[in-house]
A and B are shown apart, each in its own frame.
Chain A
Amino acid sequence: MNPCVADILENFPGARRDSLIPILQAVQERDGFLSRESVLAIGRHLDLPASKVYGVATFYNQFRFTPIGRFHVQVCRGTACHVKGSANVLDAVERELGVRAGGTTRDGLFSLEVVACIGACGLAPVIAVGGDFHAGVAPRDVPAIFAAYRERAKGGGSDAA
């Protein structure tokens, strides 16, 4: 068993089915994604077949099965953002990073995700990079935003948002 998942499972002693989603969330929060090993370990812990665990995990938008980059990029595609041109922002981000939504850049620096609504509609269009919000983003702002994060990564500084 993956020793790292074991310590999370320890926090859910005697766990039943209703702990499945919280466990998946806890694992993803720490590892950034759900690995095959952790899904199997969770299934054993809850006495559920892996198919059921995958069945739940794939149903929800939140869960990922591939590692994320050092900076996780979320592009909001809510209604307000859409009306204010977030489709073009998403295009610009995809072009800037050279990956499609759901992908991770080859250097592992950025992973790109589209989210339904971040809940900051008053500031549309919004993107979040590594937890930092950027409000009122226009396609032309995109290169500068990512240049700053590349700079930060190069400087070896803290990623803390």
Chain B
Amino acid sequence: MSEIALTLGPVFFHWPPDRLLDFYRRIADEAPIERVHVGEVVCGKRMPFSDPAWPAIIERLERGGKQVVLSTLAAPATVRERRSVEDLCGEDRLVEINDVSGLPSRSGKPFVTGPFLNVYNEASAKFLIQLGAQTICPPVELSFAAIGVMSLKCPEAEFEIFAFGRLPLALSGRCYHARIHGLHKDSCQFTCEKDPDGLSVDTLDDQQFLAINGVQTLSNQVQAFCPTPAALAAKGIRRLRLSPQTCDMVEVARIYRRLADGKEEPKDARFALSCLDLPGILVDGYAHARPGWQATATA
């Protein structure tokens, strides 16, 4: 196995079960990815749609040799949502914790902390490691240098960087898909399904800026952090996270595999990514301790 592992993060968007099945079938068969996260993390109201699809998807991924991680809701609120987090935390498979709500029922068993959990320094990381955190994917606004310091100071856990996809920037109690369609969250009619990469939000001067996905706000631009394997190794970072968009994610994984194996230069990887059908331009500002929307390297 290569030194740098690739993780496919959970799908943030409201994809119908058929789309999820097709997507993960290809990932299972064709994508050079070691670990795949499944589950709904953004909106508990969508769970009745996707829940029936997960057992078959998990089976297929595991038959394809992937390690499956069960991702939990980032902002559980209702009794049903809280119970689903608790149920998932009781499972034997590795679990991604995206809200402190999951920690009591998972403590003592191995888990991944997702980018929605605030782990900003080595002392907080150590606190979570002592509870069972094996992999830590810090919030997207942290720089590569900061994550590198944490990683070197906490060698007992793996650190993972959010390398590809629209950046998850905020969560609300309010559903913006419902709001823009003149509806309330409680009767949202699941209009978020119409935007499988999120709905673009532009400024009054038509600058591309953000995207909405139900209660979630993302970047319009697509994160494409493309480090060399030597740079990752120097900081002890062992995983890159790729976040699903509707573009060819198998191809995204292949590009990152070549990059992580040292078979492709970062500029060539960025060029290859920029040729895909992406919902926004490529950026990597956060990784370089700059505003997230900036592109410090051009394809």
- A and B co-occur in one complex: no
Give chain A's interface residues, CB within 8 Å of chain B: none
